[in-house]
Amino acid sequence: MIILAVESSCDETSVAVTESRRVLSNTVATQIAEHKLYGGVVPEIASRRHTEAITEVTRRAMSEAGVSYEDISAVAVTFAPGLIGALLVGVNFAKGLSASLDVPLVPVHHLRSHIAANYIDCDLKPPFLCLTVSGGNTIITEVNDYTSFNPLGGTVDDAAGECFDKVARALGLSYPGGVNLDKIAAAADEKLYPLPVPHTVGKYDFSFSGLKTAAVNLIHNCAQRGEEVNVPVLAGTLRHRVCKILTEKTIAAAKDMNYKTVALAGGVSANSELREMLGAACKENGIRLYMPQLRYCGDNAAMVGVQGYYEYLSGNVSSLDLNAAATMPINYR
For residues 112 and 330, the answer to whether their CB atoms sit within 8 Å is yes
Among 105, 116, 268, 278, binds ligand KG4 (CB under 6 A): 268
Min. distance of Cβ 164 from ligand KG4 in angstroms?
5
Q: Mark residues 54-93: x for contact with ligand KG4 by CB under 6 A, - for none.
A: ----------------------------------------
Least Å from the CB of residue 126 to ligand KG4 = 21
Site string (292-321) toward ligand KG4, x via CB under 6 A: ------xx----------------------
Q: How far is the CB of 111 from ligand KG4 (least distance, A)?
A: 8
Cβ of residue 10: shortest distance to ligand KG4, in angstroms? 5
Is there a contact between 7 and 80 (Cβ–Cβ < 8 Å)? no
In the bound state with ligand KG4, the residue whose beta carbon lies nearer, of 75 and 179, is 179
HEC-encoded secondary structure of the chain: CEEEEEECCCCEEEEEEEECCEEEEEEEEECHHHHHCCCCCCHHHHHHHHHHHHHHHHHHHHHHHCCCHHHEEEEEEEEECCCHHHHHHHHHHHHHHHHHHCCCEEEEEHHHHHHHHHHCCCCCCCCEEEEEECCCCEEEEEEEECCEEEEEEEECCCCHHHHHHHHHHHCCCCCCHHHHHHHHCCCCCCCCCCCCCCCCCCCCCECCHHHHHHHHHHHHHHHHCCCCCCHHHHHHHHHHHHHHHHHHHHHHHHHHCCCCEEEEECHHHHCHHHHHHHHHHHHHCCCEEECCCHHHCCCCHHHHHHHHHHHHHCCCCECCCCCCCCCCCCCCC
Taking CB under 6 A as the criterion, the residue among 164, 259, 296, 309 binding ligand KG4 is: 164
CB of 173 to ligand KG4, least distance (A): 10
7 binds ligand KG4 (CB under 6 A): no
Of residues 271 and 318, the one with the C-beta less far from ligand KG4? 271
Out of 85, 90, 126, 135, the residue judged to bind ligand KG4 by CB under 6 A? 135
Binding mask 90-129 for ligand KG4 (x = CB under 6 A): ------------------------x---------------
- By beta carbon distance, the residue nearest ligand KG4 is 267
Which residues bind to ligand KG4, rule: CB under 6 A?
10, 114, 134-136, 161, 164-165, 176-179, 182, 266-268, 270-271, 298-299
